[in-house]
Amino acid sequence: MQHFPILSIVTLFLGAFLTVIFGSKNETVRKFIALVASSISLILVLMLIKPVMIKNNVIQYWLGNWRPIHDWAIGIGLEVDALGLFFGIIAVLTIFLSIIFSFKYTKKDSETDKYYVLFLMLSGAVLGLVFTGDLFNMFVMIEIMTFAAVGLTAFRNYQEGALEAAFKYLVLGSIGSSMVLAGTITIYSQVHTLNMAQISALLFNNLTPSALFAFALLLAGFSLKAFVVPFHPAAPDAYMSAPSSVSMAFSGMVNKAGVYAIIRLVYVLFHAMDFKSVQILLIIIGTITMFIGVTMALAQNDFKRLLAFHSISQIGYVITAVGVSTALGLTAGLYHALNHTLFKGLLFLTAGAIFYATGTTDLNKLGGLARKMPQTAAIFLIGAFSISGLPPFNGFVSKWLVYQATFQANLAPVTIIALLVSVMTLASFIKVAQSIFFGQMPKEFENVKEVPLSMRIPMWIMAILCVITGVLPNIVTKYLVSPAVTAALNIGKYIDLMMGNGYSEKILGKPIEIPAVDFTLAGYWDPIAWLVLFALLLIAVTIVAVAGGFNAVSLPTEVDDPKYDVFFSGEASEHSHVKGNDLFWGLKHDLRHYFGFMHDAHSGIINDYALWAIFTTTIFIVYIFLLVP
């Protein structure tokens, strides 16, 4: 049982190496190896739910059997507690569904063995990041993740802009990793150990200036991996150019690895959530991320670029909820992270299905595909309603918790901005649905068919999971989210289990008291009642439609009568599709100065993007030196 975490990481790496030897000529062999490796990993991680989450054990595992000597840690340790396992479950689910989707999706590409090798290494690195208990091991896993991600972004190098997106991602990712390394080294020179539990014990009440400098550098480095706002410009380019099954992995796994690292840093390593200034910093960054993400998304012309900006905006929700450091805030943040993987993965897979069927993702060229691809349209609508926060889907539950948490902490402006962002999200998804699925179809898409079955199965699985986590929030909270919140706030137990019992008492002098983790979901939210109401309305509409209440009388316009010619300038109009871009022209015209400024600021030049990153790091360093005592 204790070998399961390391085995689930090693299986993925072994699968990658075996694909190089055996899979370079034969296509069936490489698909078989990828499927077997990801299934074994999924089963091993799911079998860890019962001991870790339900019985509250923590698995600690010293590599090479180097146990601590004289209370000093000398080896690399893995520590799997409920917080790490929560993110691990999200990661393996994404890997498994993405590999099933990519069997048919990469049919037209050449050299797909390199695709599977890079993808398996990316997944092994993410699992290694969330299960480890050592700070330098985290840095190495971040580097492997960045390399695999850059390789996968440039995979389709005949596509417009894929190579420059990969180059920008590499430069910005390298700056972030260098800052993480500099922070690690500064911490090492202070405490002479690299184990996270021991660092947390030794830094308890003595935050010297070099520890504060390291905190600022580590926070900036991990924020760059999670793509929070001033560090974000490489993200839309990279999500747009990668193949869709890989974009789903980026927004589902790689972002969450950055969020996990921020939570581990701020809550466990530095105990920094007791300072009011750190809470305010996280809340300000989260709010700016939410707002800028969604306003940039309203003006986009490409489907996947729009989805990437929405992904940035939802991560802003998570960071804001984590910054409000009550138990309710942390529950809201973690629940929204789980929901975001599910509905954002669903939307990216829909984009992939449309690209497979029609060959383009430009919103100005598509239209009216709901008649030819009905299942894809239904799945897209489930995803769009989830992300906007409509009941009975899962977005409503987590956004309701975010509103409640920020309101109870006396932060009413943040609640108002969060509500506004929800409304604008719904607006931009109505624009996308009108552009792609409804309306009139251009002539060149006459032969479009529905996508094959092996691409539809992952989409249906994710849609069903969206509905389940929305309708049964009590079960999800009790079994998955609450153990993770308790593990994040209960630092004394983390230190004791890693270094032997009684260590935290010796160093810290007194046991750390555990804050009371109980909360009540206010309001009269009963999801079963909303589902019954929805079903009743659907039955009513169907009865009326069948009985003939919606038959509109339509006048033919191609009648050859010269008295109609004055309305059509002599010709009958053929194509009168209202494009999605025309739906909000009033809003875009009123705010044209803001939209023009933002369009010019995202200029595409790599020196500008590096300038934003370095400037924000400087502000972090100055803020933390001035305000944290």
Partner 1 sequence: MMKGKNRQVKDVIVKTAADFFTPIALVLGFYIILHGHLSPGGGFQGGVLVASAVVLIYLGYGYNEVSKKFNMEIIKKNEALGAILFTVFGLAGIIYGSVFFANVFTNIGDVGDLISAGTIMFMNNSVGYKVLTGVGFLILLMIGLLAPDNDN
Partner 2 sequence: MILVNYIACIILIVLGFYVILTKKNILKIIIGMGLIDYGINLLIISIGFNPGGTAPIFTFTELKPESFFVDPVPQALTLTSIVIGACVTAMALSLVIKIKEKYGTLDADKVRRLNG
Interface ranges with partner 1 (CB under 8 A): 3, 6-7, 10, 13-14, 17-18, 20-21, 61-65
Q: Describe the chain by its helix, strand, coil percentages, rounded to 5.
A: 75, 0, 25
Closest listed residue to residue 393, CA positions, set 330, 464, 461, 333 = 464
Supply the DSSP symbol for 132.
B
Contact range with partner 2 by CB under 8 A, out of 55-63, 146-154, 513-521, 555-563: 146-154
Residues 6+ apart with CB under 8 A from 153: 162, 165, 166, 169, 238, 241, 242, 246
Minimal distance in Å, beta carbon 163 to partner 2?
Answer: 5
Burial of 341 (0-12, 13-18, 19+ CB in 10 A): buried
Contact present, 284 and 196 (Cβ < 8 Å): no
Q: With CB cut-offs between 5 and 8 Å by kind, which of partner 2, partner 1, none does residue 62 bind?
A: partner 1
Contact mark string toward partner 2, 213..252, x via CB under 8 A: -----------------------xx--xx-----------
328 contacts partner 2 (rule: CB under 8 A): no
Q: With CB cut-offs between 5 and 8 Å by kind, which of partner 2, partner 1, none does residue 121 bind?
A: none
Contact present, 351 and 361 (Cβ < 8 Å): yes
Q: With CB cut-offs between 5 and 8 Å by kind, which of partner 2, partner 1, none does residue 151 bind?
A: partner 2
Q: How many of the other CB atoms lie within 10 Å of CB of 197?
A: 26
Contact range with partner 2 by CB under 8 A, out of 42-50, 79-87, 187-195, 216-224: 187-195
**Sign of the alpha-carbon torsion through 149, 154, 156, 160:** positive
Q: With CB cut-offs between 5 and 8 Å by kind, which of partner 2, partner 1, none does residue 507 bind?
A: none
Contact mark string toward partner 2, 354..393, x via CB under 8 A: ----------------------------------------
| Number of shown-chain residues binding partner 2 (CB under 8 A) | 44
Q: With CB cut-offs between 5 and 8 Å by kind, which of partner 1, partner 2, none does residue 10 bind?
A: partner 1
Q: With CB cut-offs between 5 and 8 Å by kind, which of partner 2, partner 1, none does residue 479 bind?
A: none
Rounded to the nearest 5 degrees, what angle is found at the Cα of 277, between the Cα atoms of 190 and 481?
85
Q: With CB cut-offs between 5 and 8 Å by kind, which of partner 1, partner 2, none does residue 3 bind?
A: partner 1
Rounded to the nearest 5 degrees, what angle is found at the Cα of 137, between the Cα atoms of 17 and 49?
80
The angle that helices 327-358 and 255-263 make with each other, rounded to 10 degrees, is 170
Contact range with partner 2 by CB under 8 A, out of 21-29, 458-466, 467-475, 603-611: 603-611
Among positions 271-300, residues that touch partner 2 (CB under 8 A) are 299-300
**SS3 (DSSP) at 61:** strand
Q: With CB cut-offs between 5 and 8 Å by kind, which of partner 2, partner 1, none does residue 181 bind?
A: partner 2
Closest listed residue to residue 72, CA positions, set 164, 194, 204, 226 = 194
433 contacts partner 2 (rule: CB under 8 A): no
Nearer to partner 2, 374 or 604 (CB): 604
Contact present, 499 and 196 (Cβ < 8 Å): no
Nearer to partner 2, 171 or 284 (CB): 171
Minimal distance in Å, beta carbon 125 to partner 1?
Answer: 15
Residue that has been written with the tokens 């079994």 in this structure: 479
Minimal distance in Å, beta carbon 598 to partner 2?
Answer: 8
Strand partners, 171: none
Burial of 606 (0-12, 13-18, 19+ CB in 10 A): middle
Instruction: Report the distance separating Cα 313 and Cα 291, nearest Å.
Output: 7
Minimal distance in Å, beta carbon 68 to partner 1?
Answer: 14
Minimal distance in Å, beta carbon 495 to partner 1?
Answer: 21
Instruction: Give the residues lining the site for partner 2 (CB under 8 A).
Output: 136, 140, 143, 147, 150-151, 154, 157, 160-161, 163-167, 170-171, 174-175, 177-178, 181-182, 185, 188-189, 192, 194, 236-237, 240-241, 299-300, 599, 602-607, 610-611, 614
